[in-house]
Amino acid sequence: MPVNKKKKYRVLIFIIIIVIFMNVIISAAVSGDPFTALIPVGHMGLQMAILFWSYIIGALIGVLSGFLLTPLFLIVHKKIIGRKMIYGI
């Protein structure tokens, strides 16, 4: 029975998520520290605020860079291929 590529990637991503989740649980259980070692801050509220704002800033950077770089990529693609294609830009 053939396995398609999407299923392979889904299984791989699921395994990676489980490994990371187990790593966080085991490291918290061993050290007894409820804070993650990713952000070395001693206060849970400050750690949550840093994570919250980093998600928002990361999303804004992604949206703005995609909004600005997509037309540039299309222009470069049009110049490299050299065909008379219409991209709608």
pLDDT at 71: 86
Domain co-membership, 27 together with 47: no
pLDDT band at 57 (very low <50, low <70, confident <90, very high): very high
Q: How many domains does the chain have?
A: 2
Domain co-membership, 85 together with 58: yes
* Domain carrying residue 46: 40-89
pLDDT in tens, 2-54: 667 778 888 999 999 898 888 877 776 676 666 566 677 777 778 778 888 88
Question: CA 83, CA 65: separation in Å to the nearest integer?
Answer: 26
Domain co-membership, 55 together with 87: yes
Domain co-membership, 64 together with 25: no
- 51-70 burial: b if 16+ Cβ within 10 Å, else e: eeeeeeeeeeeeeeeeeeee
Domain co-membership, 45 together with 88: yes
Question: Which is more confident, 29 or 55?
Answer: 55
pLDDT at 28: 67
Domain co-membership, 52 together with 22: no
In this prediction the pTM is 0.44
